[in-house]
């Protein structure tokens, strides 16, 4: 009996010793990394939104929307409307009345540090290459897709009042719209999307981690987090999101993808059509809206020189079959152009005012076509061009002959 108690005591002492060693080790890695976060200080429910499913927070936050216990930590700044705050003072120096552009998209649009975002580079290109100033509003956020763009656009358009809207769509949006958000969309009596509810997966993940961090010992937190991550959450994900086969859509070479993914494609198209309708109503004719598509990218990997470059996954492009394709051709005055010349005289419709020879109120500056007439024909635009060319030649000859007399 004594020997049994002695052996039991030795096992207990060994277990306590190893427990102390693990506790110390876990606390050390937390202070130097952490390699495996056990403080989980940024885990909260501030990301939850009954309208946008999840939203950025002004403070640092760790998202758990995927059921991933580690989540994604964001140290970027956002305003109360979910617009990313970026210092673009240098790009707007010397600008008067810059054209405004609202960007909608997922993490591809959201970008990394301030200067490595698509909206920033677009503004930089127009400023340096075209001498056109833009004020960009980056509303891109991780895992946003057309289902969320719909209520997001309804909310932001009256606030931002952009001149242009750019929407980024990629292959992952098909999965997000159908598998993640389809059952969470809230519709009014007219069937309109008025919001995307909170994900039960993300909520369960966040709450579980918040409970795990209540334990006083890191060893207990470690065990609780492991159980939550690898036992509890897989069961929750399986119960709430069974449509994992959509991940293979871009690499599926089946001859009848339309039939195979008919329900997912129908839901995706419905969301895109609803979004397009909202943007068209805002712009009145839809010619200030640009939808862009990019192939899916692997995580940034360093090349031989050590520089990180995006790697395109072959075959990740997808094509959505259409019955009708409408080409939107602008027939209104482009505010990007007129914004660069604030002294240029415009009429009440925003068109440039010219005289009978096509010259504007600025000497030596001529204009013609739709930006003067409004919606018109190519023939009339060609006539304006010929008339303006003749007037330009006359103007230059007159200016050249007058120059010696002036000296």
Whole-angstrom distance, CA of residue 13 vs CA of residue 284: 77
Instruction: Say what the pLDDT of residue 69 is.
Output: 44
H-helix or E-strand containing 27? helix 2-31
166: pLDDT strictly greater than 90? yes
pTM score > 0.75 for this model? no
Residue 349 gets which letter from DSSP?
T
Tens of pLDDT, residue by residue over 260-269, are 878 888 888 9
9: pLDDT strictly greater than 60? yes
Query: At 332, is the pLDDT very low, low, confident or very high (cuts 50, 70, 90)?
Result: low
Name the pairing type of β-strands 308-309 and 301-302.
antiparallel
Distance set, CA 86 to CA 122, 136, 352 (Å): 14, 9, 33
Rounded to 5 degrees, φ, ψ at 91 are: -70, -20
Instruction: Say what the pLDDT of residue 6 is.
Output: 64
Per the DSSP assignment, residues forming a β-bridge with 5 are none
- The first and second tokens of residue 264, run together, are 């997912």
Query: At 70, is the pLDDT very low, low, confident or very high (cuts 50, 70, 90)?
Result: very low
279: pLDDT strictly greater than 60? yes
DSSP 164-205: EEEEEE-HHHHHIIIIISGGGEEE-TT--EEEEPPPHHHHHH
What average pLDDT is seen over the chain? 81
- Domains in the chain with CATH codes: 48-199+236-294 (no CATH), 335-406 (3.50.50.60)
For 258, half-sphere exposure in the C-beta direction (CA atoms, 13 angstrom radius) is: 4
Least confident interval from 113-117, 236-240, 369-373: 113-117
61: pLDDT strictly greater than 70? no
Cis peptide before 34 (omega within 30 of 0): yes
376: pLDDT strictly greater than 80? no
Per the DSSP assignment, residues forming a β-bridge with 219 are none
What would the mean pLDDT of 117-140 be, rounded to a whole number? 88
Tens of pLDDT, residue by residue over 190-211, are 999 999 999 888 899 899 999 9
123: pLDDT strictly greater than 80? yes
Instruction: Say what the pLDDT of residue 263 is.
Output: 85
356: pLDDT strictly greater than 60? yes
Structural contact between residues 252 and 260, judged by C-beta atoms closer than 8 angstroms? yes
Per the DSSP assignment, residues forming a β-bridge with 138 are 103
Residue 229 gets which letter from DSSP?
I
- Give the largest CA-CA distance in the chain: 124
Helix (H, G, I), strand (E, B) or coil at 249: helix
How many residues are given for the chain? 407
Helix (H, G, I), strand (E, B) or coil at 312: strand
Least confident interval from 38-47, 92-101, 217-226, 239-248: 239-248
Query: At 325, is the pLDDT very low, low, confident or very high (cuts 50, 70, 90)?
Result: low
- The first and second tokens of residue 200, run together, are 């039960």
């Amino acid at each position: 009996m004594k020997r049994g108690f002695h052996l039991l005591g030795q096992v207990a002492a060994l277990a306590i010793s190893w427990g102390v060693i693990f506790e110390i080790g876990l606390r050390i890695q937390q202070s130097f990394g952490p390699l495996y976060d056990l403080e989980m200080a940024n885990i909260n429910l501030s990301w939850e939104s009954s309208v946008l499913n999840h939203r950025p927070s002004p403070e640092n936050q760790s998202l758990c929307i995927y059921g991933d216990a580690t989540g994604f930590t964001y140290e970027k700044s956002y305003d109360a409307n979910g617009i990313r705050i970026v210092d673009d003072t240098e790009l707007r120096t010397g600008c008067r009345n810059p054209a405004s552009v609202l960007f909608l998209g997922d993490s591809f649009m959201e970008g990394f540090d301030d200067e490595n975002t698509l909206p920033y580079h677009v503004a930089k290109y127009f400023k340096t290459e075209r001498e056109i100033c833009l004020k960009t509003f980056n509303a891109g956020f991780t895992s946003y897709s057309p289902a969320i763009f719909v209520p997001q656009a309804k909310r932001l358009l009256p606030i931002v009042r952009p001149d242009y809207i750019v929407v980024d769509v990629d292959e992952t949006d098909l999965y997000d719209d159908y598998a993640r958000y389809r059952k969470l969309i809230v519709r009014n009596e007219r069937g309109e999307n008025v919001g995307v509810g909170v994900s039960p997966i993300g909520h369960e993940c966040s709450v579980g981690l918040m409970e795990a961090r209540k334990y006083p010992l890191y060893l207990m937190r470690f065990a609780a987090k492991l159980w939550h991550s690898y036992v509890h959450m897989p069961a929750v994900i399986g119960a709430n999101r069974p449509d994992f086969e959509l991940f293979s859509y871009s690499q599926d070479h089946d001859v009848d993808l339309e039939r195979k993914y008919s329900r997912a494609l129908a839901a995706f198209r419905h969301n895109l059509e609803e979004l397009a309708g909202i943007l068209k109503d805002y712009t009145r004719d839809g010619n200030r809206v640009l939808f862009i598509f990019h192939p899916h990218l692997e995580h940034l990997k360093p090349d031989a020189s050590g520089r990180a470059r995006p790697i395109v996954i072959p075959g990740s492009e997808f094509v959505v079959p259409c019955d009708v394709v409408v080409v939107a051709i602008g027939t209104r005055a482009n505010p990007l152009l007129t914004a660069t010349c604030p002294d240029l005289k415009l009429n009440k419709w925003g068109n440039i005012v010219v005289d009978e020879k096509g010259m504007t109120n600025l000497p030596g500056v001529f204009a013609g076509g739709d930006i003067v007439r409004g919606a018109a024909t190519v023939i009339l635009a060609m006539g304006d061009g010929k008339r303006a060319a003749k007037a330009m030649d006359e103007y230059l000859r007159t200016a050249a002959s007058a120059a010696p007399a002036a000296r």
